[in-house]
Amino acid sequence: MARKGWQSLSPEYRQRLEKGGVSRSDYEAGGSIQKARGHGETPEKPRSYDPAKYQKYHTERTRLEAQLEGRKRQLYGNSARWDASSSARNIRNYPASLAQIRWAMSADDDELLDAIRESPGDYAWLGYH
């Protein structure tokens, strides 16, 4: 997909790129904007990334996802509708940011249930079936 021209970008976005070290000439030459977009150490799409390229991120994500599974088991484990494999699939299919997972680990049960109830699409990764 071809990039927009530099002039087509909003002034705020151009400033963000420049602040991240991407000049107009870099941008127009097709240089990487990944770091300037905040993804120098993390993938832009956590659903599909290369674990070898993002080893540190992958290790942390794997650790947090395992903790999240335990948290979900603690929250839903007594429910007749609990399905561990569906729960794990939700984490993979609707990946949350690491910050969201960290929040879920510190949130109390009511906060988690309220988040799911109020915004089920945004918190599908917390689902259990």
pLDDT digits (tens, 9 = 90+) for 84-107: 999 999 999 999 999 999 999 999
Among the ranges given (30-44, 68-82, 114-128), the one the predictor scored with the smallest mean pLDDT: 30-44
Q: Are residues 59 and 122 in the same domain?
A: yes
Q: Are residues 32 and 61 in the same domain?
A: no
Q: Are residues 63 and 113 in the same domain?
A: yes
Q: Are residues 79 and 117 in the same domain?
A: yes
Average pLDDT over residues 51-74: 94
Among the ranges given (32-36, 71-75, 87-91), the one the predictor scored with the smallest mean pLDDT: 32-36
Q: What pLDDT band is residue 79 in, cutting at 50, 70 and 90? A: confident
Structural domain count, the chain: 2
Q: Are 122 and 75 in contact (CB under 8 A)?
A: no
Q: Are residues 61 and 26 in the same domain?
A: no
Burial 49-84 (b: 16+ CB within 10 A, else e): beeeebeebbeebeebbeebeebbeebbeeeeeeee
Q: Are residues 31 and 60 in the same domain?
A: no
Q: Are residues 59 and 120 in the same domain?
A: yes
In a domain, 47, yes or no: no
Q: Are residues 24 and 83 in the same domain?
A: no
Give the per-residue pLDDT at 24: 92
Q: Are residues 61 and 121 in the same domain?
A: yes
Give the per-residue pLDDT at 20: 85
Give the per-residue pLDDT at 128: 76
Q: Are residues 68 and 118 in the same domain?
A: yes
Q: Which domain holds residue 61?
A: 55-126
Evaluate if residue 39 carries a pLDDT over 90.
Answer: no
Q: What is the pTM of this model?
A: 0.71
